[in-house]
């Protein structure tokens, strides 16, 4: 695809070796980086995207998957940003398979949280009949990042949040020793507390949450 070829060419031409190492260290050396910071990366990316707008629109899923196969993290960010824009309100039912694959591939908080909030969250808003099945599958998975996504997907749902579902998923994972699960529980509850502080306070009070989850949940109350 000419979009991917041109994007890769431009990114590699603008790689900054001395920035790559600290960026990799910040991500616990889980990924390779080209050393392009967020703002310049988005400027370069949007210009290439603009030049290949039709190709990206028609092949968004395929392009995202191909970008996700590359080792450098900057390409993964571009893949996610393409899907956020191109799939909004235009999801297909079987896109859940794509979202699951992205969540469990090159998994770390930076990608998973964005996918959970902006892709999974929007997908399930478009297909509310799929919520129970998806949350059941993800929250019962052995994959911690799928568990985290099931907890976080309602971020910014605001008054539309299914509180019963949120509380049940948080309670299911309340005993988890995983830092990223404890943090997710606190974050999801804190986000919802902006709209329903009373029920969040009551839930935290009666649920045996880990100290980190409890602290994060009540931080703004």
Query: In this predicted model, what pLDDT tens digit does every residue of 169-220 receive, in sequence order?
Result: 999 999 999 999 999 999 999 999 999 999 999 999 999 999 999 999 999 9
* C-alpha 70: how far from chain center: 18
Quote the pTM value.
0.96
Across the range 27-32, mean pLDDT stands at: 97
d(CA 41, CA 78): 9
Give pLDDT, residue 70: 98
Q: Is the pLDDT of residue 72 over 80?
A: yes
Bridge partners, 72 (sequence order) = 32
pLDDT digits (tens, 9 = 90+) for 131-161: 999 999 999 999 999 999 999 999 999 999 9
d(CA 126, CA 163): 18
Q: What is the DSSP letter of 32?
A: B
Q: What 3-state class would DSSP assign to 37?
A: coil
Residues in contact with 47: Cβ distance below 8 Å, sequence separation at least 6, in sequence order: none
Across the range 68-92, mean pLDDT stands at: 98
Tokens read off for 219: 């931080």
Q: Is the pLDDT of residue 13 over 80?
A: yes
For the chain, what is the radius of gyration of the CA atoms? 19
Q: Is the pLDDT of residue 1 over 80?
A: no
Residues in contact with 149: Cβ distance below 8 Å, sequence separation at least 6, in sequence order: 103, 112, 115, 116, 120, 138
Sign of CA dihedral 197, 199, 202, 205: negative
The whole-chain average pLDDT of the chain stands at: 98
Give pLDDT, residue 121: 98
Q: What 3-state class would DSSP assign to 72?
A: strand
Give pLDDT, residue 146: 98
Q: What 3-state class would DSSP assign to 68?
A: helix
Look at residues 154, 153, 208 and name the one whose alpha carbon lies nearest to residue 182: 208
Look at residues 79, 59, 57 and name the one whose alpha carbon lies nearest to residue 8: 79
Give the CA dihedral 157, 150, 113, 77, nearest 10 degrees: -110
């Amino acid at each position: 695809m000419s979009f991917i070829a041109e994007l890769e060419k431009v990114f590699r031409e603008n790689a900054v070796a001395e920035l790559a190492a600290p960026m990799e260290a910040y991500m616990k050396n889980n990924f390779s980086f080209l050393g392009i910071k967020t703002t310049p990366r988005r400027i370069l990316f949007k210009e290439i995207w603009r030049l290949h707008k039709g190709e990206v629109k028609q092949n968004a899923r395929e392009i995202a998957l191909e970008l996700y196969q590359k080792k450098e993290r900057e390409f993964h960010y571009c893949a996610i940003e393409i899907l956020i824009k191109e799939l909004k309100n235009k999801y297909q039912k079987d896109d859940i398979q794509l979202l699951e694959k992205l969540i469990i591939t090159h998994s770390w908080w930076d990608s998973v949280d964005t996918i959970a909030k902006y892709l999974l969250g929007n997908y399930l808003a478009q297909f509310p009949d799929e919520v129970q099945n998806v949350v059941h599958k993800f929250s019962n998975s052995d994959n911690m990042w799928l568990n985290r996504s099931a907890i976080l997907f309602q971020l910014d749902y605001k008054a539309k949040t299914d509180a019963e579902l949120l509380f049940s998923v948080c309670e299911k994972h309340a005993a988890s020793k995983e830092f990223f699960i404890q943090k997710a529980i606190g974050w999801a509850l804190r986000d919802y507390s902006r709209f329903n502080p009373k029920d969040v306070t009551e839930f935290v009070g009666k649920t045996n949450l880990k100290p980190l989850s409890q602290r994060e949940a009540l931080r703004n109350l």
